[in-house]
Amino acid sequence: MREQEIGALERVRLRITCPDGLGIVASVAQFLATEGANIVQSDQYSLDPSGGQFFMRIVFECAHAASRLEDMRHRFDRIAKTYDMNVQCSLVAQKKRIGIFVTKEDHCLLELLWLWQAGDLDADIAVVVSNHDTLRHCVAPMGIPFVHIPINDKEAAERQQLAVLETHGVHTVVLARYMQIVSPTFVAQYPQQMINIHHSFLPAFVGGNPYRQALDRGVKMIGATAHYVTNVLDEGPIIEQDVQRVTHRDDLEALKRIGKHVERTVLARAVQWHLDDRVLVVGNKTVVFR
Amino acid sequence: MREQEIGALERVRLRITCPDGLGIVASVAQFLATEGANIVQSDQYSLDPSGGQFFMRIVFECAHAASRLEDMRHRFDRIAKTYDMNVQCSLVAQKKRIGIFVTKEDHCLLELLWLWQAGDLDADIAVVVSNHDTLRHCVAPMGIPFVHIPINDKEAAERQQLAVLETHGVHTVVLARYMQIVSPTFVAQYPQQMINIHHSFLPAFVGGNPYRQALDRGVKMIGATAHYVTNVLDEGPIIEQDVQRVTHRDDLEALKRIGKHVERTVLARAVQWHLDDRVLVVGNKTVVFR
Amino acid sequence: MREQEIGALERVRLRITCPDGLGIVASVAQFLATEGANIVQSDQYSLDPSGGQFFMRIVFECAHAASRLEDMRHRFDRIAKTYDMNVQCSLVAQKKRIGIFVTKEDHCLLELLWLWQAGDLDADIAVVVSNHDTLRHCVAPMGIPFVHIPINDKEAAERQQLAVLETHGVHTVVLARYMQIVSPTFVAQYPQQMINIHHSFLPAFVGGNPYRQALDRGVKMIGATAHYVTNVLDEGPIIEQDVQRVTHRDDLEALKRIGKHVERTVLARAVQWHLDDRVLVVGNKTVVFR
Amino acid sequence: MREQEIGALERVRLRITCPDGLGIVASVAQFLATEGANIVQSDQYSLDPSGGQFFMRIVFECAHAASRLEDMRHRFDRIAKTYDMNVQCSLVAQKKRIGIFVTKEDHCLLELLWLWQAGDLDADIAVVVSNHDTLRHCVAPMGIPFVHIPINDKEAAERQQLAVLETHGVHTVVLARYMQIVSPTFVAQYPQQMINIHHSFLPAFVGGNPYRQALDRGVKMIGATAHYVTNVLDEGPIIEQDVQRVTHRDDLEALKRIGKHVERTVLARAVQWHLDDRVLVVGNKTVVFR
């Protein structure tokens, strides 16, 4: 179900994390009812009902949500304090702005551009950044800025990249087969807002040339993993994974070709769920409310 | 996540269907909080937030739920009436009793027996009924009654069958490749409580010999469908489906062999979800809260 | 394994259909050895070793295959006659020319264009034909002719279409969500050379609006089917099928969105196999040597 | 397609490995034709047509194959020498004898027993060996010997195990969740004839407690791997792998329950392919002719 606006009602996504306990759902639901907001979808998950961490995602709709949201947040504060809640809240109508990083491989970029064109990616693609000029022709005709930042001095380049992202108001960074390691400084700017696609079924085949590693090991399926970027390479919280069957007939070229399909499928799903605020991070893992 | 008892707390599954509207979740959650019940899991779905049908499944836990349940139900009545709710409620600890119908094929029966033995089927297998004596040896050693009711006079046989089910206190009937059509009278006794496995990906290949039909059509995948039984053959609400890839090399024998694996997998999932009260019927379709 | 040229050796694909019998493989292999041709890949299948239909696909390589092919065919004639063989033969280096028919939906077209751009579609896209001008912008920038033939007079339009295909030397026609029925005259021009994608798991949901039909039936998976076009709607030999899981949450829009992914994946596979001469038709079914 | 006897003809499986080169297929096919043998199925694969390793599996049928096989082998010797072939040959009718090793978990054992009972495992189950007496009740009623060899002195126990296998004429050993490491001496007795099921998608989660490791890493799919046993733990040639989707809701118990299904499916496939001589080992990888 897509969460679109119906009539004059406006939709809001609410995400709550707190220690589990008695009365949380009742307090939140009571609050929303009092505000005249109707719950459209609700998901919850608890690590342990007796005080473990509790996760909740609610989509509600009410009249004039956009103009009232600030006030509602204020009124909700009392409940948030009572239960020690971490609260996040966003208007469905207010699209996130994403920045896509690429190198020379186009398949993940093209998948995102195509979904965006088809209206199936609920975001504004603010900018595409690359250390090569190779893929400019995919991006420019769509009226999306393409910024080529060659990497000679890594630190200088990263300062430039961050400046570009700020200029374009980027909320979420997608590394769409961007074959560079980003620094802790960069990572710190986009906590749980930077998604990478790794071309293996993690934790198998961490690091470089995973298809070559897969070929050498003789696996019967190859995979791809979309995860949030942290400071440990290929170790961030996994958002989504998928695999495809291969056989002894598939050489390195074939694995790459088959893998491209898996990579773009997995990355697209992860980005879509992230944009819908469906992904909550707990430690090094994710809760995905689908 | 399995919903087991923790300590002295007892768990209850609550299912609600009603017209959607403002304040439903708040009222239910408030009620449970007042009763000292903690919500362990909650799923909801609405056909349309503006008055469409609303579905909710809650698992909650509280002290002494078993002894208090009747009183809680009584106190809940006011809310149920306010929102025109259809309410169903069951103790997690109180296992459903199932009756399995078979003919001569053993694979679906064996899958259910194994799961039950392994503690992965949250039910009591009360009785196995068959129109042949063929599979008695699978059932008898487990201490489960096996009742052979030959079908000469169809009406008389059905009366016997119903009597056996009543004697054994059967709540849910599973047709595990029972190759007979049951009468409307029989169906009426187990509304949304009788599950059939059909050996095709419905609505493809309705009726007899679906593997032969699949072979003749040259499909590249074969499937199985678990559904609630209604009075229209192979037309009841679908609970679960799955498929498996086949090739031109697979002859009728191979399709049957591959199909057996899909059939038992699909039937097992459907029965498990049904036993966990995860399946709600709306018209000729199901809502499955997984 | 992709069948590419290595060094000065040239590759040829050979397809043989004949009644099964003793000595067929020996005769063919002996012939190729005598010609100095090395068998790179070989697949065979027999409906029945005792005189049933026999299917064989061989990829061989030899020096100067292109210039020698006509002579080799001639010398092979004796064997072909002995075993009553239907023989087809094509140079791997000689790409098939395909014509793509579309209406307004772009996803299947885009998938084929991408694969072609990425070098993963072993064909020349000769022309794209449409009854609407909508998708011209996807095609024109790639230097591929886009021909808009509005359909007012159906017969006249079809004559125009056939003329365009002839002009561009089209060997294989792909109906990439072309929402029109083609006439028997048209079909007869491209026997087993016209591929359609139907947006359901055939034979379920034949005809119009299959996603609406799927929604109404409440299936738990939706699919797509690529098949050769014959004169009976949605009844031609199936080349490939696949499915994707859906839930009660998925409304019509969601089914279409999920379905698009399956459609383009399935169509791409079918077209690739067809281009590699991997698909042999037997009656209303296919043998696919993968 | 199953390779069963038809009429008085008897079927033989022939497997050949040799350096690739001109005329191999022709020589083999010519030989079989001369012997009056009809090729029923044939698969081949070459690492590199120019002298790389070549693999071939042929199923042929001829009259009185059983009594003639020794002579045919003798006559084939000249060809085998010419091409430096490694040749293996077995009558389809002559079932392999397998020995199954278990500890306390029954699911993989039960799957094999059930397939065997259903006639879907083309082997004789010669004996089941265990370091515990736990699963005797599953095996004994089927008339299959169950031998309990407790492991106090590891070397002595292994001597006993080997003696039991020899007594029962075991050709293939299946470690069906046998939670013990076997010694190099043992492994050497069953080269490419000992199959293990590891409960992870190798090479992810090598070693102990893979489900715990999977839970901690937060993967979105869990898998199982069937491989030939070598002297390096979990590093032998992979025969088959598969995965199943999991979510954040699945705790350790759930992973184990879901995993059981994948394990038994994967092991069953690997054993069936091995019994059909479909698996050829090359270095640390397998060629599987399906």
Residue C6 has pLDDT above 70, yes or no: no
The distance of C170 to chain A (nearest Cα, Å) reads 26
> How many CB contacts within 8 angstroms connect chain A with chain D?
77
pLDDT at A76: 97
The reported pLDDT for the residue numbered B213 is 96
Distance from CA of B1 to the nearest CA of D (A): 5
Residue B201 DSSP class: S
Write down the pLDDT at residue D152.
92
Mean pLDDT of B24-33: 95
- Interface check for C144 against chain A (CB to CB < 8 A): the answer is no
Task: Calculate what percentage of chain B has a pLDDT beyond 70.
Answer: 98
Mutate to test the interface with D, among B59, B134, B257, B273 (most CBs of D within 10 A): B257
DSSP state of B49: T
Name the D residues in 75-134 with CB < 8 Å from any A CB: none
**Per-residue pLDDT reduced to its tens digit, B251-288:** 999 999 999 999 999 999 999 999 999 999 999 999 99
Across the B/C interface, how many CB contacts are shorter than 8 Å? 77
Q: Is C16 left (phi over 0), alpha (psi -120 to 50) or beta?
A: beta
Which residues of chain D have a CB within 8 Å of the CB of A286?
A: 218, 248
Segment 245-274 of chain A within 8 Å of chain C by CB: 249-251, 253-254, 257, 260-261, 265
C49 touches chain D (CB under 8 A): yes
Count of beta carbons in the 10 Å neighbourhood of residue C216 = 14
For testing contact with chain A, the best of D53, D201, D206, D220 (most A CBs within 10 A): D220
- For the segment B223-231, the average pLDDT, to the nearest whole number, is 97
Q: Can you give the pLDDT at residue C48?
A: 83
Chain C residue closest to D5 (CA)? C49
CB contacts, 8 Å: B45 with chain A? 41
Check A20, A106, A122, A234 and give the catalytic one: A234
pLDDT at residue A122, as a whole number: 95
Return the residue of A nearest to C248 by Cα.
Answer: A1
Q: What is the C-alpha separation between C191 and C184, in angstroms, rounded? A: 10
For residues A234 and A198, is the Cβ–Cβ distance under 8 A?
A: yes
Residue range C93-126, pLDDT digits in tens: 999 999 999 999 999 999 999 999 999 999 999 9
What pLDDT is stored for residue B50 in this prediction? 76
Instruction: Flag whether residue C5 sits within 8 Å of chain A, measured between CB atoms.
Output: no
The DSSP call for residue B140 is G
Whether the CB-CB separation of D103 and D129 falls below 8 Å is answered with no
- What is the model's pLDDT at position B1? 39
For chain D, list residues with pLDDT below 70: 1-7
pLDDT-flagged residues of chain A (< 50): 1-7
Closest-CA distance, C22 to chain A, in angstroms, reads 29
Q: The pTM is what?
A: 0.94
Question: Mean per-residue pLDDT for C21-33?
Answer: 94
Q: What is the model's pLDDT at position C4?
A: 47
B141: preceding bond cis by omega (within 30 degrees): no
Does B191 contact chain A (CB < 8 Å)? Answer: no
pLDDT mean across residues, chain B: 94
Residue with tokens 């470690």: D175
Q: DSSP 3-state assignment of B250? A: coil
Burial (0-12, 13-18, 19+ Cβ within 10 Å), C152: exposed
Q: What is the pLDDT of residue A1?
A: 39
Q: Do A223 and A241 touch, CB atoms closer than 8 A? A: yes
pLDDT in tens, B130-189: 999 999 999 998 999 999 999 999 999 999 999 999 999 999 999 999 989 999 999 999
Q: Rounded CA gap, C31 and C40, in Å?
A: 15
In this predicted structure, the answer to whether residue C130 has a pLDDT above a threshold of 60 is yes
The reported pLDDT for the residue numbered B265 is 96
Look-up: residue for tokens 């399946």?
B279
- At C235-273, the pLDDT tens digits run 999 999 999 999 999 999 999 999 999 999 999 999 999
* Chains with ≥3 CB–CB distances under 8 Å to A: B, C, D
D152 touches chain C (CB under 8 A): no
Two tokens, residue C194: 């016209």
Assess whether pLDDT exceeds 80 at residue C2. Answer: no
**pLDDT (average), residues C49-72:** 92
Three-state SS across chain D? CCCCCCCCEEEEEEEEEEECCCCHHHHHHHHHHHCCCEEEEEEEEECCCCCCEEEEEEEEEEECHHHHHHHHHHHHHHHHHHCCCEEEEEECCCCEEEEEEECCCCHHHHHHHHHHHCCCCCEEEEEEEECCCCCHHHHHHHCCCEEECCCCCHHHHHHHHHHHHHHCCCCEEEECCCCCCCCHHHHHHCCCCEEEEECCCCCCCCCCCHHHHHHHHCCCEEEEEEEECCCCCCCCCEEEEEEEECCCCCCHHHHHHHHHHHHHHHHHHHHHHHHCCCEEEECCEEEECC
Total Cβ atoms within 10 A of residue A189: 18
Annotated active-site positions of B, please? 234
* Residue pair A249/D45 in contact by the 8 Å Cβ criterion: yes
Domains of chain B and any CATH numbers: 9-91 (3.30.70.260), 96-288 (3.40.50.170)
pLDDT value at residue C283: 92
Check: complex ipTM more than 0.90: yes
Task: Tell me what pLDDT residue B5 has.
Answer: 44
The dihedral through the CA atoms of A198, A199, A203, A206 has a sign that is negative
The predicted structure's pLDDT at residue A51: 78
Q: Using the predicted structure, report yes or no on whether residue B54 has a pLDDT greater than 80.
A: yes
Distance from CA of B216 to the nearest CA of C (A): 8
Structure tokens that stand for B21 in this block:
């509207």
